[in-house]
């Protein structure tokens, strides 16, 4: 604790330090007092002035105050109206701004559309220029083709003259061959008659020799349930050891001729198989299909070798040429195509004016092609040039379902939906014979007929025919069975009469094929079954 003396000294020092401003504070108080007094004097002076004579000024000031008050009220009113207008204008400004934003957005979108349309317009202009160039090229080609046509017509006239000469020579040659064949047939018939009259000689004669003459089917050797779905076609192999069927189950099935056992099922097709055909050496088989393609399999490996695509419609028929290097096909797209198997593509496309139901080759080298069509016409084509040789009209009154050549290459067998079959002499394009029967009815657009190996008989399958009469409508089931019944017909070519009517099938027969050895006939019905008929 500090000593009292020290505290006293500190207090005295403080008083000295603070006493420095004492006079200044007193002076300030005096000035303040004087200012207060001056204010009082001024106030008193003003009161005196007012009291002495300023009443008029006060009245004027009151009036002025009232005017200002009224003016202020008017200003308040105007200010309120302006505030209201400001609010209204602000709202309008907001609406305008929103509208401007929308229009700006639409303008951007329209600008983008204009850019796209401008690009399309430029593309179209470019395409038009290209098309103009193409049109010019086509016009030049057309001019060249017209010139070529003129030249070709001249050549055609010369070729026609040459063709007549060659045709006459060919006819003379065929007539000589026919005479030789007739002499041979006469000799064979005499030998057969002797064999029949001599039991010992008949026993000693091989079965194969006899079967080549006794070609009429007599009984069913075997009946096979061949497919899992409808059958559409059947064909015997070139050498007679096999036969094949094709159908809606997308398979080609190969069978042994003698045993009837299935050897292999060939797959790869995408839709229904419409026709099958072996090549001349039985090394390959082809199948046309409703998937617009024709496929070729190897019979040694049972593997797919070629797929021929190019038609834009269902392919209904196809055949190998004799050298097996080419294939010809006919389609619903009204074209025939010639395929080079070594190159693997089309070498000729022929436009036929009507859907092709079937085709065959007039010669083994495939130079002349015959096609049967939906419009009832039969057409002959030169496959080397693609030009038509001959068109036969009026042969049938219904669409052609089958065309096939005789083994001697002189006669064409046709089958039609008008329920008739006809043999045409292709040398003169004359109809030699017409075949029909009361109960024969061709009920399928793909029904195939066939010559016998010797050409003495023809065979075709029927779909059955409903007979009209007073009892025809007694039972609906009988009508259905009548429509589904299939009968195999065999006609004698020389007499035109029906030699056999064989009933074994339960539905329409879609195809008949005569084995080249003559000892069997194969018939296929639409409802999955195949019959092997024994002619021995």
DSSP letter string, 254-267: EEETTT--EEEEE-
With pLDDT > 90 as the criterion, what percentage of the chain qualifies? 51
**Closest by alpha carbon to 309, among 294, 297, 331?**
294
Residue 502: closest CA among 516, 512, 515: 512
pTM: 0.60
Which three-class secondary structure state does DSSP give residue 341?
coil
Alpha helices by DSSP H, 396-516: 476-484
Same domain, 373 and 253: yes
Q: Judge whether 273 and 228 are in contact, CB under 8 Å.
A: no
Burial 129-156 (b: 16+ CB within 10 A, else e): eeeeeeeeeeeeeeeeeeeeeeeeeeee
pLDDT over threshold 80, residue 481: no
Do 164 and 227 fall into the same domain?
A: no
Closest CA to 533 of 174, 185, 221, 254: 221
447 and 301 belong to one structural domain: yes
What pLDDT is stored for residue 208 in this prediction?
Answer: 38
Instruction: Kindly state whether residues 288 and 155 are assigned to the same domain.
Output: no
pLDDT value for 406: 93
192: pLDDT confidence band, cut at 50, 70 and 90? low
Boundary-marking domain end, from 114, 136, 171: 171
Same domain, 379 and 439: yes
Q: Domain check: are 145 and 226 in the same one?
A: no
CATH code of the domain containing 253: 2.130.10.10
Assess whether 263 and 140 both reside in one domain. Answer: no
Smallest CA-to-CA distance from 419 within 450, 379, 466, 462 is with 462
Q: Is residue 362 part of a domain?
A: yes
What is the number of domains present in the chain?
Answer: 2
Q: What is the average pLDDT score of the chain?
A: 85
Identify whether 43 is part of a domain.
no
Poorest-pLDDT segment among 28-37, 195-204, 294-303, 341-350: 195-204
The pLDDT assigned to 210 comes to 36
372 and 428 part of one domain: yes
307-333: per-residue pLDDT in tens? 999 999 999 999 999 999 999 999 999
The mean-pLDDT minimum among 35-49, 146-160, 231-245 falls in 35-49
Of 171, 204, 238, which residue constitutes the final position of a domain?
171
Whether 164 and 254 map to the same domain: the answer is no
Q: Classify residue 291: in a domain, yes or no.
A: yes
Per DSSP, 448 falls in state: B
Band (178; pLDDT cuts 50, 70, 90): low
Question: Is the separation of the CB atoms in 330 and 350 below 8 Å?
Answer: no
More confident residue, 242 or 165: 242
Residue 41 lies in a domain: no
Is 460 among the domain residues? yes
Given phi > 0 = left and psi -120 to 50 = alpha, else beta, which region is 195? alpha
**pLDDT at residue number 482:** 40
Average pLDDT over residues 20-24: 68
Domain boundary among 142, 171, 200: 171
Question: Cα(371)–Cα(315) distance, rounded to whole angstroms?
Answer: 13
Q: What is the average pLDDT across 437-444? A: 91
C-alpha 230/C-alpha 227 separation (Å) is 7
Answer whether residue 111 is part of any domain.
yes
Question: Degrees (nearest 5) of the Cα angle 407, 279, 453?
Answer: 20
Residue 370 lies in a domain: yes
One domain, residues 164 and 273 = no
pLDDT band, very low/low/confident/very high, at 513 (cuts 50, 70, 90): very high
pLDDT of residue 200: 46
Distance of CA 401 to the CA centre of its chain: 24
- For residue 243, what are the domain limits? 219-466+482-534
Asked, for residue 198, whether it belongs to a domain, the answer is no
Beta strands in 310-469 (DSSP E): 315-320, 326-331, 335-340, 345-351, 356-361, 368-373, 378-382, 387-392, 400-405, 411-416, 421-425, 430-435, 450-451, 457-461
């Amino acid at each position: 604790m500090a000593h009292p003396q020290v505290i006293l000294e500190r207090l005295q020092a403080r008083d000295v330090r603070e006493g420095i401003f004492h006079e200044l504070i007193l002076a300030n108080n005096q000035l303040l007092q004087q200012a207060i007094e001056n204010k009082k004097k001024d106030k008193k002076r003003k009161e005196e002035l007012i009291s002495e004579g300023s009443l008029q000024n006060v009245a004027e000031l009151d009036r002025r105050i009232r005017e200002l008050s009224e003016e202020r009220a008017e200003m308040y009113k105007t200010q309120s109206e302006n505030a209201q207008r400001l609010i209204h204008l602000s709202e309008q400004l907001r609406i305008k701004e929103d509208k401007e934003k929308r229009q700006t957005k639409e303008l951007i979108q329209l600008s983008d559309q204009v850019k796209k349309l401008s690009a399309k317009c430029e593309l179209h202009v470019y395409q038009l220029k290209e098309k103009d160039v193409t049109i010019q090229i086509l016009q030049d080609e057309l001019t060249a083709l017209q010139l070529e046509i003129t030249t070709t017509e001249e050549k055609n006239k010369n070729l026609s003259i040459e063709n007549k000469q060659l045709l006459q020579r060919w006819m003379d040659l065929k007539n000589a061959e026919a005479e030789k064949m007739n002499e041979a047939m006469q000799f064979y018939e005499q030998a057969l008659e002797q064999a029949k009259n001599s039991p010992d000689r008949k026993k000693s004669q091989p079965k194969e020799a006899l079967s080549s003459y006794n070609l009429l089917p007599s009984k069913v050797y075997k009946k096979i349930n061949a497919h899992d779905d409808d059958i559409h076609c059947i064909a015997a192999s070139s050498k007679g050891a096999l036969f094949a069927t094709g159908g809606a189950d997308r398979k080609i099935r190969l069978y042994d001729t003698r045993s009837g056992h299935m050897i292999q099922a060939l797959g790869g097709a995408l839709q229904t198989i419409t026709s099958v055909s072996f090549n001349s050496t039985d090394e390959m088989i082809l199948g046309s299909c409703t998937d617009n393609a024709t496929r070729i399999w190897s019979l040694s490996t049972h593997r797919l070798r070629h797929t021929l695509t190019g038609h834009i419609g269902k392919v209904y028929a196809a055949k190998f040429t004799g050298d097996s290097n080419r294939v010809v096909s006919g389609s619903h797209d009204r074209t025939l195509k010639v395929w080079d198997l070594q190159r693997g593509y089309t070498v000729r496309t022929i436009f036929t004016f009507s859907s092709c139901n079937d085709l065959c080759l007039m010669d083994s080298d495939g130079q002349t092609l015959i096609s049967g069509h939906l419009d009832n016409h039969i057409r002959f084509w030169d496959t080397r040039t693609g030009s038509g040789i001959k068109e036969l009209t009026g042969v049938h009154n219904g669409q052609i379902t089958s065309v096939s050549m005789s083994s001697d290459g002189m006669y064409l067998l046709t089958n039609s939906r008008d329920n008739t079959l006809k043999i045409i002499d292709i040398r003169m394009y004359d109809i030699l014979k017409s075949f029909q029967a009361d109960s024969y009815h061709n009920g399928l657009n793909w029904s195939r007929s066939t010559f016998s190996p010797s050409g003495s008989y023809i065979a075709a399958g029927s779909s059955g025919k409903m007979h009209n009469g007073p009892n025809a409508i007694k039972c609906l089931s009988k009508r259905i069975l009548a429509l589904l019944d299939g009968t195999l017909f065999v006609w004698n070519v020389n007499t035109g009469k029906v030699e056999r009517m064989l009933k074994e099938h339960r539905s329409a027969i879609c195809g008949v094929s005569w084995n080249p050895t003559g000892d069997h006939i194969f018939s296929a019905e639409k409802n999955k079954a195949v019959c092997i008929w024994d002619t021995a």
